[in-house]
C-alpha cells in the first residue's frame, strides 16, 4: 500500500468518525430536548402480551417510549408456570419512567384468575425489589384479562402498589370472535353487552371496585370492512370495558384505529398507537 493510499484511508476514517460523532451528538441533543416534554417519575410501566405470545410483542411499544426520551430504562420480568418471577436487568437509581416487559411462560392459560395472579406476582416482586408504590400497565389482547382479574381480586388490597394508568389494547372483555363471543355482540344504551359471557359477568363487581384514581385509555381496531372488529375481537367487546370502569375511573377515553393498521396483532406495531400511549402515560400536562 502506497503512502498516498494510507493518507487517504486515514483521512476517510477520520471523516467517518467525525460524522458519526456529530450524528450522535445531534441525536443526543434531540433526545434530551424531547425528554423535557415528559414528566420525571420512577413509577414503572408494565407491558403485558396476549395469548400464545411473549415479551417480543411488547418491544415496539417499549422502544417507542425509550426512543422518544420518555423513559431511560427497561427490564424484563419472566413469570414461570408456577408463578415464580425472575427479573432480567436492573434499574439504576436515577431511572426515569422505568419500563417492565412481562413475559408469561404460561401464555395460553384461559383461567383469567390465574393470569391475574401471575400479574400480582410481578407487582409484588417489583414492590420487594424497588419499593414501588404505584404502577402503570399497558396490555394487549388477553393481557387485558390478566389486568381486569388482577383488579377484581386485588384492587382493594391496600398492601399492594396502586394502579395509576391503564392502557387497554384490543381487549376482549366480552369474548373473542369464533371462540366465546356471543352472536349478538351489540351493546345496550348504558354500554353493557346485551348478551354477556361468563367471563364478563364475573367482572361486573368492578363497577363498584375499580380504583377511582386510575386514568384509562382504551384502544381498539376497526378493519373498516363491515365486520366492526379488528379481525379477532368485535369492537363492542373492547368497548364493553367502559361499562365496567368508566363511572369510577379518574378519566376514561377511547381511540379507534381504522383500516389495516387496526388489525388485532398490528395494533401493537402501529406508530400512531405507540405515540398515543407514550403521550398518555408520560407527557407533561
Fold of 41-282: Rossmann fold (3.40.50)
Average pLDDT on 190-207 reads 98
Q: How is 226-238 classified by DSSP, letter by letter?
A: SS-BSSSSBHHHH
- The 10 Å Cβ neighbour count of residue 37 is 14
Query: Is the per-residue pLDDT at 24 higher than 60?
Result: no
pLDDT tier at 36, thresholds 50, 70, 90: confident
Q: For 192, list phi and psi in degrees, rounded to 5.
A: -80, 145
Which of the residue ranges 19-23, 57-61, 78-82, 253-257 would you say has the lowest mean pLDDT?
Answer: 19-23
What pLDDT, on a 0 to 100 scale, did the predictor assign at position 34?
65
Q: What is the pLDDT of residue 214?
A: 98
- Residue pLDDT, tens place only, 219-252: 999 999 999 999 999 999 999 999 999 999 999 9
Is pLDDT at 60 greater than 50 in this prediction? yes
- Listed in sequence order, the residues at least 6 apart from 47 whose beta carbon sits closer than 8 Å to its beta carbon are 55, 58, 61, 62, 99, 100, 101, 102, 137, 138, 139
Indicate the DSSP class of residue 78.
E
- The answer on pLDDT for 93 being more than 50 is yes
Q: Which pTM value belongs to this model?
A: 0.89
Q: How is residue 114 written as a grid cell?
A: 390465574
Give Rg (Cα) of the chain: 22
Report domain extents, the chain: 1-36, 41-282
Amino acid at each position: 500500500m502506497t503512502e498516498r493510499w494510507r493518507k487517504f484511508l486515514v483521512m476517510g476514517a477520520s471523516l467517518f468518525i467525525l460524522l458519526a460523532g456529530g450524528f450522535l451528538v445531534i441525536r443526543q441533543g434531540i433526545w434530551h430536548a424531547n425528554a423535557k416534554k415528559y414528566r420525571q417519575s420512577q413509577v414503572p410501566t408494565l407491558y403485558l402480551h396476549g395469548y400464545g405470545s411473549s415479551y417480543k410483542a411488547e418491544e415496539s411499544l417499549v422502544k417507542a417510549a425509550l426512543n422518544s426520551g420518555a423513559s431511560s430504562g427497561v427490564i424484563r420480568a419472566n413469570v414461570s408456570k408456577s408463578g415464580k418471577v425472575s427479573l432480567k436487568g436492573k434499574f439504576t437509581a436515577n431511572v426515569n419512567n422505568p419500563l417492565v416487559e412481562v413475559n408469561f411462560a404460561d401464555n395460553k392459560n384461559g383461567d383469567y384468575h390465574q393470569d391475574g395472579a401471575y400479574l400480582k406476582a410481578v407487582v409484588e416482586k417489583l414492590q420487594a425489589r424497588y419499593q414501588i408504590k404505584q404502577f402503570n400497565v399497558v396490555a394487549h389482547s388477553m393481557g387485558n384479562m390478566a389486568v381486569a382479574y388482577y383488579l377484581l381480586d386485588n384492587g382493594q388490597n391496600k398492601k399492594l402498589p396502586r394502579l395509576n394508568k391503564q392502557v387497554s389494547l384490543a381487549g376482549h372483555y366480552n369474548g373473542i370472535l369464533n371462540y366465546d363471543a356471543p352472536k349478538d355482540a351489540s351493546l345496550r344504551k348504558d354500554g353493557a353487552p346485551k348478551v354477556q359471557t361468563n367471563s364478563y359477568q364475573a367482572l361486573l363487581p368492578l363497577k363498584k371496585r375499580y380504583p377511582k384514581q386510575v386514568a384509562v385509555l382504551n384502544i381498539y381496531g376497526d378493519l373498516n370492512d363491515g365486520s366492526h372488529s379488528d379481525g379477532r375481537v368485535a369492537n363492542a367487546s373492547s368497548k364493553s370495558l367502559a361499562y365496567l370502569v368508566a363511572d369510577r375511573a379518574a378519566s376514561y377515553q377511547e381511540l379507534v384505529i381504522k383500516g389495516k393498521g387496526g388489525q388485532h396483532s398490528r395494533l401493537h406495531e402501529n406508530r400512531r398507537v405507540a405515540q398515543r400511549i407514550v403521550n398518555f402515560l408520560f407527557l407533561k400536562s
